[in-house]
Structure 1
Amino acid sequence: MQDATIENVRPLLASQHADGSTVQCIFRCPVSGDTFEASGQMIRSPESTNSVQSSMKRGLKYGMGRALNRVMRNVFGYNPLANIATDAARQAVNNVKTYSDFTENERNEAILRAFHKVAHRFVWDPKRSAWVSRSSHDQMATEFEKRLQRHPITDKFDAEVLARILVEMSNVDGTMSEEEKALLADFLPPHLSLNEMLAKPSLSEAELLETSAGPVRENMIMLAWAMLFADYSVDPAEMRFLKGLASKMGLGTGAEDSMKEHAQEFTLVQLWESVFEGEMTREQAFAKSDGLGVERLTAERLEIRYRKARG
């Protein structure tokens, strides 16, 4: 999974303008010409910078955390990097004067904070070694990603139910690992915080059936499967919980199986990307795909499709 760095983000900058401690950025796709505007805060406090970096690293510890975090942040409309930056900037406002007061590194970090707000609009193109807009790069998108683009979860009630599903599934046996807590904390927004979700009673069947029917409801189950696969293993208790939930929500066996397969494909793509980036070996990837319950032939075919897409 490619990380955003100032070196690979700067080529996207069509313009940047400083307003006090804020850098207003316009990012332009080099292929489609699509533009996206976002702002980032410049922060002088070393503690603030460390907090941002710590938040970024925390999302890398848990399996395919980087890819899943990016998807979930888009779903919930929350970017903890931006929130950390905003809070820190507010605390340090008395120290802020002009653009020239900040170091080059602090300015670059502000650009990256801005990019993280629109990162879900981009995908890394290994052929060009560059970020390009998703609209110009559909051949690299999985059905998982395409479904979320076609049928986004925009209703506030749906988002809350999804958050509760993810928390209840992770806590199905009454315990939650530190890795699971860190992953959830990285993308759940303040109004759907982990502690708040844990304090709520279990979802009722009525609440589940009041979610948006059709593709959106299916996508909620698909996202839950992706969360279940995040550590490249299958917890039997979590799987039983999710299957029972899908049944209560009115998903037939065929639809549920399809959502599971889309989540598996998305997860496997992250594995092959890690292999091509030199982060793991091919055999390690096969071992992890086996942990997901994916047959080797299926994993090999997806590897070939990934190679073909990369060119």
Structure 2
Amino acid sequence: MRKTRVNHLVERFNMKVLSGEENLSREITVTDLNRPGLQLAGYFSHYPQERIQIFGITEMEFLNTLTHEERDQRLRFLMNEETPCLLIARNLEVPVEMIEASAETGVPLLQSPLATTALVSKLTNYLEDKLAPTTTMHGVLTDIYGVGVLITGSSGIGKSETALELVKRGHRLVADDAVEIRQTQEGQLIGSAPELIQHLLEIRGVGIINVMTMFGAGAVRNMKNIAMVVQLELWDQHKQYERLGLDEEKIKIMDTEIPVLTVPVRPGRNLAVIIEVAAMNFRLKRMGYNAAVHFSKRLTDTIEENEAESY
């Protein structure tokens, strides 16, 4: 399970720490946020204590209608050991009971100048990015005509050399050797390169080259949605490879399934061109045109016409 900390929020969004500064290392483990209106009204049966608690104008104005004892009781209920922090939007004035409860319980009390809706939106996007499930795969990620293609295969089969040829043909490199993949809540897979090897490509016999320095900023990009996988493998004459393209195989990365294409490697095959065509064909399929299906239909129609003529 991925985590982030309250102090990361403070630094990222330039928040003001009103109290509980010594506990800014508290962990945040969920992307959901909570506006504790029901708890302030006295409903304690369900309280998502693991979430960041956000106070906007509505919550603060309702808080001001309570007596001193009610404010103190309900705020202390909100501030327990599991609560990451309390966050006040719009730089609203904070009642003294809230500061006192924060100081005694140690729960950080933060303040932001952002409007509540904007604050919720920015925090949600940030937390979804930070807490998204991640994995690392061995391969090369490229952007070919807007399609994120992950090229995989055994070591030394020619993945990096193929990526270099694709870059020379005008496409873009995202990551070589190690591809960090995170899965969004919508099930999209977003690949990027570890910072240490960003924009670098290893070519056996040549060494490490910097693609951005050599080919320009247009030859690289920092991240890309992965749409398909191309698996390179040594040609096996006893294996039946797909020839029509009617059957689409899938590969599961974390919880998301994406198409996978197996391309046999043998002398004389231009892998870069094959993968480039595969990406264009993938785009055509997404636009509603499948050449294999159209060919199969034409073949069926021709056979039926010939059979009719024979009668």
**TM-score class, shorter:** under 0.3
Q: Which has the higher contact order (CA 8 A, sep 6+)?
A: 1
TM-score normalised by length of structure 1: 0.24
* Structure having the higher Rg: 2
Between structures 1 and 2, the one with greater helix share: 1
Q: Normalized per residue, which structure has more strand?
A: 2
